[in-house]
């Protein structure tokens, strides 16, 4: 182990920290890194070893956002990412925003809106705006504030940066709509737009997917533009044939009352037409019959004779051979039954505890 440390290249300077070699893919270019300390941050390697000084070293604690870069499409603070762990990843820095034509639209918007003063936070701010517009092509002000809250600025503040976000979003949407309108016009799908009747071009899912593959937009977008929920089926007049793909059409819907072909459906009867086994449906506007007052006889019954059924004085039922028991008064309102003799030895209802004659034989 001692011999290995003495043979290490850093042994002459007294640096015995472990080193490693790896390759970083930065802005689409493979950049080898040799004999780098394994604990070096990605920010340090980009600036000191690869010469990409766009990302700034502000706090080295991930608080200021001046070193904002993208690793595999995710916005990160370069000072917090070990460079060795970023090998085989796709790294994007502020230098990659500029193209052959100069600064990108994000960089130009930040400069035109006055969001640049000392310039130290500008590279990180530009990366944050670029990342936001990749994920959300039409961010609200609240979403833009949330995206920029990790980038500290003590010179110009944030209003100019928010204005730059809105400017870039408007310009990209207008350019996309113009491109789609030109493509549709060239394909002959829509007539040429005029001042009186301009053609409203709408972004489509395929157009966003194409731009995403080119690195300009993500693979997803606002649901309002992806799914055209407002494209409703136009109203169809009754009897009008509906066109179908392939050059043929659905048969038109027959109007009400049209006779059906042989063996087909029957025409819909008009209102008021009597059916085979039911009363006819009254025509529209026919008033209902009024509800009769209480006491009105039904149509199927005879006239009410006005008889009042009494509950008192109803005659007692007469049974042949049944005499009224001795000592048993007739009930109120009832006549005494005729031909009813009391049984022998039974005068009245005996009191509780009195033995009856038949009990002797029990």
Convert the pLDDT of each residue in 8-66 to its tens digit: 455 455 667 899 999 999 999 999 999 999 999 999 999 999 999 999 999 999 999 99
**Structure token pair of residue 200:** 């409203």
Q: Could you tell me if residue 52 is inside a domain?
A: yes
Provide the number of structural domains found in the chain: 2
Q: Which CATH number does the domain housing residue 78 bear? A: 3.10.20.30
Same-domain status, 52 and 135: no
Same-domain status, 113 and 70: no
Q: Quick one: average pLDDT of 204-208?
A: 54
Q: What is the pLDDT of residue 336?
A: 45
Judged against a pLDDT cut of 80, whether residue 201 lies above it is answered with: no
Same-domain status, 206 and 151: yes
Residue 78 CB contacts under 8 Å (≥ 6 apart), including other chains? 41, 42, 43, 46, 55, 67, 68, 69
The parent domain of residue 2 ranges over 1-96
Alpha-carbon distance of 81 to 88, in angstroms, equals 14
Same-domain status, 86 and 104: no
Burial class (CB in 10 A: 0-12, 13-18, 19+), 52: buried
Q: Could you tell me if residue 19 is inside a domain?
A: yes
Q: Could you tell me if residue 243 is inside a domain?
A: no
Last residue of a domain, one of 96, 119, 146: 96
**Structure token pair of residue 264:** 């087909």
Judged against a pLDDT cut of 50, whether residue 207 lies above it is answered with: yes
Q: Could you tell me if residue 5 is inside a domain?
A: yes
Same-domain status, 114 and 126: yes
- 275-313 pLDDT, tens digit per residue, is 555 455 666 766 766 777 777 766 655 555 666 555 454
């Amino acid at each position: 182990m001692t011999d290995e440390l003495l043979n290490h290249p850093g042994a002459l300077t007294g640096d015995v920290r472990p080193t490693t070699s790896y390759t970083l893919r930065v802005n689409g270019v493979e950049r080898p890194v040799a004999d780098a300390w394994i604990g070096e941050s990605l920010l340090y390697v980009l600036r000191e070893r690869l010469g990409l000084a766009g990302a700034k070293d502000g706090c080295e604690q991930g608080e200021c956002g001046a070193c904002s870069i993208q690793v595999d499409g995710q916005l990160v603070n370069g000072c917090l990412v070990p460079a060795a762990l970023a090998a085989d990843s796709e790294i994007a820095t502020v230098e990659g925003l500029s193209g052959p034509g100069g600064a990108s639209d994000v960089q130009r918007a930040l400069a035109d809106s006055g969001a640049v003063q000392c310039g130290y936070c500008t590279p990180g701010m530009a990366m944050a705006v670029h990342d936001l517009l990749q994920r959300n092509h039409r961010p609200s002000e609240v979403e833009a504030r949330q995206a920029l809250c990790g980038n500290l600025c003590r010179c110009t503040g944030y209003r100019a940066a928010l204005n730059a976000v809105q400017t870039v979003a408007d310009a990209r949407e207008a350019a996309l709509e113009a491109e789609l309108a030109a493509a549709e016009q060239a394909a002959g799908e829509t007539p040429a737009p005029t001042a009186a009747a301009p053609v409203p071009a709408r972004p489509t899912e395929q157009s966003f997917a194409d731009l995403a593959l080119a690195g300009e937009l993500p693979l997803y977008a606002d649901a309002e533009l992806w799914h055209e929920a407002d494209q409703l089926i136009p109203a169809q007049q009754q009897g009008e044939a509906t066109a179908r793909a392939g050059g043929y059409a659905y048969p038109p819907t027959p109007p009400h009352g049209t006779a059906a072909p042989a063996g087909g459906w029957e025409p819909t009867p008009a209102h008021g037409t009597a059916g085979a086994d039911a009363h006819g449906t009254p025509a529209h506007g026919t008033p209902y019959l009024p509800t009769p007052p209480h006491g009105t006889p039904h149509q199927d019954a005879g006239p009410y004779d006005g008889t009042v059924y009494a509950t008192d004085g109803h005659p007692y039922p007469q049974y042949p051979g049944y005499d009224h028991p001795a000592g048993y008064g007739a009930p109120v309102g009832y006549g005494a039954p005729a031909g009813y003799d009391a049984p022998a030895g039974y005068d009245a209802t005996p009191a509780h505890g009195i033995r009856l004659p038949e009990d002797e034989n029990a």
